[in-house]
Structure 1
Amino acid sequence: MTSTKIAEETPFEIAVPDADIELLKKKLELARFPDELEGADWSYGAPLADIKRLVSHWKDGFDWRKHEAKINELPMFTRDIDVDAFGTLNIHYVHQQSDVKNAIPLLFVHGWPGHFLEVEKMLPMLTAASPDHPSFHVVAPSLPGYGFSEGAHKPGFKAPQYAELFNKLMVALGYNEYVYQGGDWGGILGKAIVPTLGPKHIKAWHTNMPIMNPPTLLRNPLLFLQMLLTPFNKTIREGFEYTQRFVNLGSGYSKMHMTKPQTIGYSLADSPVGLLAWIYEKLVAWTDEYPWTDDEVLRWISIYYFSRAGPAASVRIYYEMSEGGTATLGLGHLSPATVPTGVSYFPGELIRLPKSWAALMGKTVYVGEHDKGGHFAAFEVPEVLAGDMFKMYGKGGGAFGVVPGKSGYD
């Protein structure tokens, strides 16, 4: 990787060494594939024909240098951030500023198996100047151990450390007050850190993966009694069944990540085919019939393969946040957010809970429901997710003017 030092912030460009690309091609050339049962299709996992086709293209047709150059058009930087008890971590991030002087600072946080490029399609939409919707200054960091961010070097990097890291990054960029958006781990971390950083720093937040614990008699008596006394309608029943199918048939990866991340890490680090299959299955299964091209898939996977800390580092967040598989992904009984909260529902999301439970997220001021889109909404339907942000923070929206002096309009 190459960079030019300027004060505390370092402009960043990806520059994968030729030797690393050659090693990848050699590994792909020597790949040994498993057999496959007749008619198995997707029921047993990623189909053999798909993986063979992608491996062949990765080896002989995919032009990483072309994609690398395109990614380098993004305004990327790195910055050293001190995290209490963990020392200094060099963090990579995209920082796209709007031309609108009073644009709203937005922290966009990805999850697994995503990365900073999830925000790419939304950047021109969110930063555009318009009299019809607000504009944002967008900061999209690579989580520690993802993409080109340095990973933690010792155990125990949990929600308080993410909160410290995110806030120090935003404050260093001049954003003492900002809003937050996240899906997947970005959403889970948001539930954990927004109550601690808001309202002093995080003034409002939005997630496209609204998950929460069921209402209880002590914490949510009215909603709890309503749940007991009112029969679930067909939509809610189907949502629970959909969620249970994911838990039973689609969540095995998380058990491995939560309990033995080092073990699966050897396969992810050493075998590009193993890494491809591990993530490709999720890209297809978790999107709402998104028409992936082979180049899109391989560009996505290559970010993991060429990542600074190696792809194994990315899965350790599951262990840390679930305390080695003994807790529910760090959710527990978290305090609801006291700042304005927005949620968006997409039909291809992994978990479908009753929309009435959105109130459990905290001070809910915006709920968006859509008929298209899945787990990677920012990448699949960027205009839809951006539209929700415009409605939530725009004139008449529940979070309009939440950041003092930052309405987002000219």
Structure 2
Amino acid sequence: MAANTNVPQSFKIAISDSKLDWVTQRVQTSLVIPDVEHAGGKEWDDGAPSATIQELIDYWKNNYDWRKVEARINSTFNMFTVDIPEGDEVINLHFVHHRSERPDAIPLLFAHGWPGNFTEVESLLSLTAPEDPTQQAFHIVAPTIPGFIFSSSPKAPGFTILRVGSVYHQLMLKLGYKRYIGQGGDWGSMILRGVALSYPDSCVGIHLNMVAALPPKPLQHPITLFWLALRWFTAEEKKRVSRMQWWLKDENGFSRIQGTKPQTISYALLDSPVGMLAWIREKMEGLKEPSYVWDKDLVITWTMLYLLSESSWHARIYKEAAPVLKTEILEKKIPSKVAFGASCFPYDVGYAPLWWAKVSLAENIVFWKEHSHSGHFPSVECPDELKSDIWAFVGSLSKETRDALQSGN
């Protein structure tokens, strides 16, 4: 009898030998294009340096073992799939679900982005059973964006961020979580903002590690707009805003390519393991704290996961979601019934000062922390700080909200 895909089915990664042999053969016969000579500190100006890619390829050839990685992922994460209807689509959604044994645990929806993936939630799994029994425990749910990695792809255009949010919300209800909070960055931050806008009675709080805000509306907030026009920032705020502007001006070419011709770029990336490796590794460089060193196994594993998707949606999301992001998400303030928290890391690429966020982003900001280090992937770069912030965010919620989260699921 066929499995009932309307209820969660246990999932294990089991990549075929033929697929793995294909990847191995492509890596073994890869060609690294020579780079030009750059001045010191300019090595990444034209993209991923050939020396960096060659080092990763050599490691992939001689040290990386996908079968060991596959076994570790399968043993680390409780993974499932389930069919979720969304309009005229049905998404077979891949997700991680670790349920706490604590009766007072709070459901936490973790939303990843690109070029990240569900494995970013690994450092948060310990939140199901904190060593300190006085600290809040969580049920952890981490879906994979439709069309990414092991989630099935939408069959037609028009699958925007609000529709992704609908899929995530339906998943939480299917798992029995009537009320929950969310945590995320990158596309995950936009997905959670969409969930908060659409389902404020269920998604009662979101904590983001990437914030973006439109300029204040002139008629409603003329003074704040005046401050913004004069760049009335502190020295640190200027640095963070300037980094965001640098990213949008000098580092955003990938999103223009993915946002205009996602199918074409996907032929190139999914047919070339080294091409996908270079594409992902180059973006990872600009998103981290300069002193942080990416683990080679992690970089190759993230590359492998996208290769295994055999889908263009890792690129297509930039075409389907980005053009309507302003009207669907950015122009709308998160309502007061949804508690909002932010952790701002200096090497992230989305930023707005608190005074700006108060008028353009959320009505009910209960937690805001500006960190002195780390970048776009805090669950990987500085997991202890992120966990502390999640606890602090929950501690900032009203007693009524916490009681509802703890008792209503």
TM-score w.r.t. structure 2 length?
0.91
Paired residue for 1:98? Answer: 100
The residue matched to 2:82 in structure 1 has which SS? strand
Relative to structure 1, the CA distance from residue 6 to residue 260 in structure 2 (aligned partners, 3 Å threshold; closer, same or farther) is closer
Q: 2:8 touches 2:82 (CA, 8 Å); kept in 1?
A: yes
Relative to structure 1, the CA distance from residue 328 to residue 55 in structure 2 (aligned partners, 3 Å threshold; closer, same or farther) is farther
TM-score w.r.t. structure 1 length?
0.91
Displacement of 1:72 in angstroms is: 0.4
Q: 1:95-142 CA distances to partner (integer Å, 9 max, x unpaired)?
A: 011111121111110000010001011111354263432111010000
Paired residue for 2:86? Answer: 83
Q: Does 1:145 align with 2:139?
A: no
Displacement of 1:13 in angstroms is: 0.5
Relative to structure 1, the CA distance from residue 97 to residue 52 in structure 2 (aligned partners, 3 Å threshold; closer, same or farther) is same
Relative to structure 1, the CA distance from residue 41 to residue 330 in structure 2 (aligned partners, 3 Å threshold; closer, same or farther) is farther
Q: Does 1:155 align with 2:157?
A: yes
Q: 1:107 touches 1:180 (CA, 8 Å); kept in 2?
A: yes
Relative to structure 1, the CA distance from residue 352 to residue 8 in structure 2 (aligned partners, 3 Å threshold; closer, same or farther) is closer
Q: Does 1:211 align with 2:212?
A: yes
Q: 2: distance between equivalents of 1:47 and 1:190?
A: 35
Displacement of 1:235 in angstroms is: 2.5
Q: Does 1:166 align with 2:168?
A: yes
Kindly report which structure 2 residues correspond to 1:34-49, keeping only aligned pairs within 5 A, or say none: 34-39=33-38, 41-49=43-51
Displacement of 1:237 in angstroms is: 2.7
Relative to structure 1, the CA distance from residue 4 to residue 399 in structure 2 (aligned partners, 3 Å threshold; closer, same or farther) is farther
Paired residue for 2:312? Answer: 312
The residue matched to 1:80 in structure 2 has which SS? strand
Displacement of 1:334 in angstroms is: 1.9
Q: 2: distance between equivalents of 1:34 and 1:400?
A: 59
Paired residue for 2:397? Answer: 398
Relative to structure 1, the CA distance from residue 144 to residue 241 in structure 2 (aligned partners, 3 Å threshold; closer, same or farther) is same
Q: 1:401 touches 1:407 (CA, 8 Å); kept in 2?
A: no
Kindly report which structure 2 residues correspond to 1:354-373, keeping only aligned pairs within 5 A, or say none: 354-359=353-358, 360-362=360-362, 363-373=364-374
Paired residue for 2:268? Answer: 267
Counterpart amino acid of residue 220 in structure 1 = H
Q: 1: distance between equivalents of 2:299 and 2:57?
A: 11
Q: 2: distance between equivalents of 1:316 and 1:118?
A: 21
What are the ranges of 5 or more consecutive residues in structure 1 without an aligned counterpart? none
Displacement of 1:31 in angstroms is: 1.7
Paired residue for 2:243? Answer: 242
Paired residue for 1:337? Answer: 335
Quote the sequence identity (%).
Answer: 34
Q: 1:13 touches 1:76 (CA, 8 Å); kept in 2?
A: yes
Paired residue for 1:387? Answer: 388
Counterpart amino acid of residue 122 in structure 1 = L
Relative to structure 1, the CA distance from residue 92 to residue 231 in structure 2 (aligned partners, 3 Å threshold; closer, same or farther) is closer
Q: 1:144 touches 1:152 (CA, 8 Å); kept in 2?
A: yes
Deviates more, 1:381-390 or 1:120-129: 120-129
The residue matched to 1:46 in structure 2 has which SS? coil
The residue matched to 1:107 in structure 2 has which SS? strand
Relative to structure 1, the CA distance from residue 33 to residue 224 in structure 2 (aligned partners, 3 Å threshold; closer, same or farther) is same
Counterpart amino acid of residue 9 in structure 1 = P
Relative to structure 1, the CA distance from residue 336 to residue 110 in structure 2 (aligned partners, 3 Å threshold; closer, same or farther) is same
Q: 1:183-216 CA distances to partner (integer Å, 9 max, x unpaired)?
A: 0001012223311110x11111110001111112
Q: 2: distance between equivalents of 1:36 and 1:217?
A: 48
The residue matched to 2:302 in structure 1 has which SS? helix
Q: 1:164-186 CA distances to partner (integer Å, 9 max, x unpaired)?
A: 21111000000011111110001
Q: 2: distance between equivalents of 1:9 and 1:204?
A: 25
Displacement of 1:4 in angstroms is: 7.8
Q: 2: distance between equivalents of 1:162 and 1:80?
A: 13
Displacement of 1:144 in angstroms is: 0.5
Paired residue for 2:287? Answer: 286
What are the ranges of 5 or more consecutive residues in structure 2 without an aligned counterpart? none
Paired residue for 1:374? Answer: 375
Q: Give the structure with the larger helix fraction.
A: 2
Displacement of 1:28 in angstroms is: 1.4
Displacement of 1:296 in angstroms is: 1.8
Displacement of 1:223 in angstroms is: 2.5
Displacement of 1:303 in angstroms is: 1.3
Displacement of 1:329 in angstroms is: 9.1
Deviates more, 1:39-48 or 1:6-15: 6-15
Q: 1: distance between equivalents of 2:175 and 2:197?
A: 22
